[in-house]
Amino acid sequence: MKKPAVVPALLCLTLLILNGCASMLPSAQQRTEARWHSYEEARFAFDAIQSGSTSKAQLADMGFDPFKVPNIKLLNYLELMRIFLPNDSIRLADLHPDIQSCLSARNECLGYEVLLGNNAKQRFGNLFLDLFNFRRQTRSSGWQFRGLIVLRKDQVIYKVESGQPNTLEFEDKKNPLGPIQDISFPSLMGY
């Protein structure tokens, strides 16, 4: 008499489903709301700003207006001093002449800090191991742009940019004890 092959068939089906369910793992997207959607777009717009000739009104027309565009921070001269003179080893005389005159002018000096970025996180790997916290693998990718614009009397006198055109990180977190890895003994005893 032949035994039914139901149990091995169910076991094989379960393994196929669990291995093929990586798309069921969580993902996250974090982005900064702005009119520029990539590092290249932000840099191209920033490159159009000319030190010594671009006015505050022209900056607003280009999209660099902290009152209308999100994620552009307005900086007063004290905040600019913290940026350009972070410690005693850097003196005012060491800075660019335009920055020196701007910081000396105090209230006539202001800055715009542009902070943009996009970061996507995607978990991948085995659904069973991830679900029960034995192993979680995460891939993060995106970009970050940071620009600083310094104005004196409504005229751009200095600009500088930095950032990461491409970011890519992998995280592989292993917990040999799975779901009980994070349980602490005092919490089990009621302390």
Q: Per residue in 35-93, pLDDT tens?
A: 788 999 999 999 999 999 999 999 999 999 999 988 899 999 999 999 998 888 888 88
**Higher-pLDDT residue of 13, 183:** 183
Q: How far is CA 14 from CA 7, 9, 10, 97, 130, in A?
A: 11, 9, 6, 70, 16
**Higher-pLDDT residue of 45, 185:** 45
- Asked whether residue 12 carries a pLDDT value surpassing 90, the answer given is no
Spell out the domain ranges in the chain: 33-173
- Could you tell me the pTM of the whole model? 0.73
- Asked whether residue 24 carries a pLDDT value surpassing 90, the answer given is no
Regarding beta strands 135-152 and 72-75, do their DSSP bridges make them parallel or antiparallel, or are they unpaired? unpaired
CA dist., res. 161 & res. 148, Å (int): 6
Give me the pLDDT at residue 186, please: 61
